[in-house]
Structure 1
Amino acid sequence: MSRPQDAKRSFFPFGNPFRMISAKGTKNSPQLLLVLHAFEATLEERLKKLIPKSKDEILNLSWMTLAMQTLCESHNDIKTLITELELPVSDWDEKWIDVYFDISVKLLDICNAFSSELSRLSRGHLLLQCVLHNLGSSSSEQYVRACSSLDGWKQHIGSGNPRIDKCGSILDDLLGSLDLPKVKKSAKGKVLMQAMYGVKVQTVFVCSVFAAAFSGSTKNMSVLDVADIYSWASTFKGLQNLVNEQIRVRLSGGRFTVLNELEEVNSSLKELSPIIQGVVDTIETEPLVKIVRELGRATEKLSQGLDLLSKEVDSFFHVVLTGRNALLSNLRSGGTGIDSILEGNRDAQKVN
């Protein structure tokens, strides 16, 4: 990992159920190994989907939407694996429950940060529509309004987002959760921990890429060192190297943003700005018509991409939130008396 962490904590809501499963020294049965291999093969296929055919396909909104889709699928697969392995939760230790609530809130927080940035970008889209609307007329007054909307877009898009700035500390906590807990007495526990590790790596990678893309900074970009013992390690390393390198190249090259759709909009605006600022009481010129047409296409592409990605981020938020609710339901039905734990996490459950 790129940043060493002091806190080594569990990442998913499954506590420490392994002490009650089987005797010390239990080895994985052939059936359990088949379950694990199938899980990891599916994980590797999802990682392969994120390897683009060309570098231009990296870090567009379609790629980010696919990345979030695969993340939702992997988290749902963990839930299914829990059911298949029949791991009970009734005897979980209070400290593990408390850790889960803490970490799951961080996942919800980072989802909220991403959603807030997508909403901010969507609000900027309204300013672009104003630019296009005002350029539909050849009057100098409309050009002045277009210039005003253009200035508003530049200010809005360059204002930054404090919630994205806070993603770094959240990612630090997620990085600190990657270490596998030692499981000595449970074959099922070992299978679950290895499966969970793969999903944890996928989660930190996707979240760090999103944070870097939205912030326009490499400081939130993580480099995860995955051991070669995992069947999906080579695929993951290739994906991570490709994506991280593109982020570095784009940011070091002076690009306005690493996101392709935003860069396309900005390129059109760069061409448009000097033209409309120099036009006074004149009809539309051919260069202006062409650039306005290109800006319209780029603006529509940006809007559609933001809408689709927002839906997938909301879906991931729902996956995490339903996991919390399912754990609460299981604990209450088991009569474990978790009121004192819940009281300490009451504020954390109120996620904006």
Structure 2
Amino acid sequence: MSRPQESQRPLFPFGNPFRMILPKGSHLSPRLIALLNSFEEALAERLRKLKPKDSEDVLTLSWMRLAMDSLCAVHTDIKTLITALELPVSDWDDKWIDVYLDNSVKMLDICIGFSAELSRLKQGHLFLQCVMRNLDSIPSKQFIRARSSLDDWKHHITLKSSKTENCFSVLDNLVATLNEPKVKNSSKGKVLLHAMYGVKVLTVFVCRIFAAAFSGSSKKLMDLHVPEKYLWAEAFTSLQAFVNGEIRTIYSSGGVTVLKELQAIHVVVKKLYPLVEDGPNSMEAEEYKNCISNLGKSASSFSEGLDILLKEVDGFFQILLTGRDALLCNLRVGTDVSSPVQRNSNLEQVVR
């Protein structure tokens, strides 16, 4: 009985991943195997690209944008796979739909929490702008105001948001649903849920990294175990070990934040603060001038990076929202109900 399946094996140079997840007698057509193989290889490649080249690239805003862009791409890939499977919603198991809708609500909540935290960090830029304006002048009164603004900035940046803590609770619930559901009598359903597992793993991993970065602690980082049967397992394990390891190293060594652009501002502020306590003397004039210049560049880079990352998070929010709305609309075929997407504002409006 195994003879007819041997012709399919070249599709999997590292072995057939389905031998571990499909019960005896199960059969996937060459087309279904090709679809899933294509999805998993694409996911593996995204994971490989997401692995930083060195430790200095971990948790830069550019890496975070790439991570969020990868999430958007993978969630788009799963929608493309669903279309290719030609699996009508009417054939979906009620449990699949319930889990999908429940998870999508959790992910929307996480996006709102991330957007709120990024907006809060963005607000800190106002204090740095006040510092720069006050340091344009030499009078001692301006130095006093600059010190006050620096104090306000340091206090603002170290505040912890309850929304971030809530993100960890939501992610814990998502982790509890990571186990791939069993599917009976549906080859297409097996392919769909096998692929969705990959989407959920990457989503939980990236969002956990973001939450850890915003919380200022590595205590709630989590190392997810992915079975070797998945074609993207090796790429994911390598990525997770590298990024989690670097974050733990930074926090264990007393780092204030793992956000690299924010670290750069902290370094400049630490040098600048003593110089504005009484005003720089002639020996410190050059260092003072360099600090002001570096602060301006670092603050501007951080602010611009936050703006771009906010747009990426909003883009992910919209992908989740439209995917959820498309499913709900398909479930309501034959009813005169307007699309929920027309009744939802964008992420920035939700946060406000």
- How does the TM-score come out when normalised to structure 2? 0.85
Q: Give the distance between the partners of 1:286 and 1:232, measured in 2 at CA.
A: 52
Q: CA deviation at 1:160?
A: 1.2
**What does the per-residue CA deviation read over 1:108-158, in whole Å, with 9 as the maximum and x for residues that have no partner?**
000011000000000001111111111111121211111111111011111
Equivalent residue of 2:179, what SS? Answer: coil
Q: What is aligned with 1:32?
A: 32
Q: What is aligned with 1:312?
A: 312
Q: Give the distance between the partners of 1:300 and 1:55, measured in 2 at CA.
A: 23
Q: CA deviation at 1:334?
A: 4.9
Q: Give the distance between the partners of 1:103 and 1:33, measured in 2 at CA.
A: 26
**What does the per-residue CA deviation read over 1:42-90, in whole Å, with 9 as the maximum and x for residues that have no partner?**
1011101111111100111100000000000000110111111011113
Q: How is 1:177-326 mapped onto 2 (pairs within 5 angstroms)?
A: 177-279=177-279, 285-326=285-326
Q: How is 1:60-79 mapped onto 2 (pairs within 5 angstroms)?
A: 60-79=60-79
Q: Give the distance between the partners of 1:236 and 1:273, measured in 2 at CA.
A: 42
Q: Give the distance between the partners of 2:200 and 2:148, measured in 1 at CA.
A: 46
Q: Give the distance between the partners of 1:288 and 1:295, measured in 2 at CA.
A: 11
Q: Is the 8 A contact 1:180 1:197 kept in 2?
A: yes
Q: Which runs of 5+ in 2 are unaligned?
A: 1-23, 341-348
Q: Give the distance between the partners of 2:305 and 2:179, measured in 1 at CA.
A: 35
| Seq. identity, % | 54
Equivalent residue of 1:63, what SS? Answer: helix
Q: Give the distance between the partners of 2:119 and 2:230, measured in 1 at CA.
A: 38
Q: What is aligned with 1:83?
A: 83
Q: Give the distance between the partners of 2:162 and 2:125, measured in 1 at CA.
A: 20
**What does the per-residue CA deviation read over 1:190-214, in whole Å, with 9 as the maximum and x for residues that have no partner?**
1111111111110010010001011
Deviates further, 159-168 or 84-93 = 84-93
Deviates further, 99-108 or 281-290 = 281-290
Q: Is the 8 A contact 1:43 1:232 kept in 2?
A: yes
Q: Specify whether residues 126 and 63 from structure 1 end up closer, same or farther in structure 2 by C-alpha distance, changes over 3 A only.
A: same
Q: How is 1:87-98 mapped onto 2 (pairs within 5 angstroms)?
A: 87-90=87-90, 92=92, 96-98=96-98
Q: CA deviation at 1:219?
A: 2.9
Aligned length: 318
Q: Is the 8 A contact 1:171 1:220 kept in 2?
A: no
Q: Give the distance between the partners of 1:147 and 1:257, measured in 2 at CA.
A: 22
Structure 1 residue identity aligned to 2:126? L
Q: CA deviation at 1:280?
A: 7.6
Q: Give the distance between the partners of 1:229 and 1:26, measured in 2 at CA.
A: 16
Equivalent residue of 1:218, what SS? Answer: coil
Q: Give the distance between the partners of 1:302 and 1:116, measured in 2 at CA.
A: 16
Q: CA deviation at 1:173?
A: 0.9
Q: Are residue 121 (structure 1) and residue 121 (structure 2) matched?
A: yes
RMSD: 2.2
Q: What is aligned with 2:131?
A: 131
Equivalent residue of 1:220, what SS? Answer: coil
Q: Give the distance between the partners of 1:98 and 1:229, measured in 2 at CA.
A: 26
**What does the per-residue CA deviation read over 1:256-309, in whole Å, with 9 as the maximum and x for residues that have no partner?**
101101110001000000010021898981110011111111111101110111
Q: Give the distance between the partners of 1:61 and 1:153, measured in 2 at CA.
A: 20
Structure 2 residue identity aligned to 1:289? K
Q: What is aligned with 1:163?
A: 163
Equivalent residue of 2:150, what SS? Answer: helix
Q: Give the distance between the partners of 2:102 and 2:196, measured in 1 at CA.
A: 17
Equivalent residue of 1:267, what SS? Answer: helix
Q: Is the 8 A contact 1:221 1:244 kept in 2?
A: yes
Structure 2 residue identity aligned to 1:109? D
Q: CA deviation at 1:26?
A: 4.5
Equivalent residue of 2:219, what SS? Answer: helix
Q: Is the 8 A contact 1:212 1:218 kept in 2?
A: yes
Q: Give the distance between the partners of 1:98 and 1:238, measured in 2 at CA.
A: 32
Equivalent residue of 2:89, what SS? Answer: coil
- How does the TM-score come out when normalised to structure 1? 0.85
Q: Give the distance between the partners of 2:226 and 2:280, measured in 1 at CA.
A: 61
Deviates further, 109-118 or 136-145 = 136-145
Q: What is aligned with 1:19?
A: none
Q: Is the 8 A contact 2:226 2:237 kept in 1?
A: yes
Q: Is the 8 A contact 1:110 1:167 kept in 2?
A: yes
Q: Are residue 142 (structure 1) and residue 128 (structure 2) matched?
A: no
